[in-house]
Amino acid sequence: MYVPTEETYAMYYLTETDPRGAMGLGGKDEVGVGSLGGFITAIDYKTGKVAWRHRYPGTGGGLGNGMLTTAGKLLFAGDLSGNLVAYDPANGKILWHTRIGQISNAPRLTCWTVTSTSW
């Protein structure tokens, strides 16, 4: 399983002191306090453990875009710098990339030939 992940942190402030009125949700989140970056993460679905991670370029965090795996053993994903990147899904090694500008955040589509071969 491949997912975009982001390591961030925030500070929470208690704004409602009456627990009856707040129901435990009486805080305010300060969004964007800090980020350790965005990653494409491969998770072993049998164990739930991280198999590998690849950091997206840049230091401001932010998630990448839609991902697509193919029968040809490729993982395609976009990054926030406008690159389309092909990874080896077994180990996360970058196999190819090209800058195509703005990347959609929708998942990529795959094409099938008449013989049902994915490419």
Supply the pLDDT for residue 68.
87
Q: Burial of 114 by CB count in 10 Å (0-12 exposed, 13-18 middle, 19+ buried)? A: exposed
- Which residues on neighbouring strands pair with residue 27, listed in sequence order? 14
Supply the pLDDT for residue 86.
92
Cβ contacts of 104 within 8 Å, gap of 6 or more: 65, 66, 78
Kindly tell me if the per-residue pLDDT of 59 is higher than 70: no
Residue 43 CB neighbours (<10 A): 16
What letter would DSSP give residue 92?
-
Each residue's pLDDT tens digit, 5-53: 888 777 766 666 666 655 555 556 566 677 787 888 999 999 999 999 9
Supply the pLDDT for residue 48.
94
Q: Find out whether 106 and 97 touch, Cβ atoms under 8 Å.
A: no
**Mean pLDDT value across residues 60-70:** 70
**Mean pLDDT value across residues 61-79:** 79
User: Which tokens is 75 given?
Assistant: 């993982």
| H or E element that contains 38 | strand 27-43
What letter would DSSP give residue 102?
S
Each residue's pLDDT tens digit, 72-119: 899 998 877 778 889 999 999 999 988 887 765 555 555 444 555 555
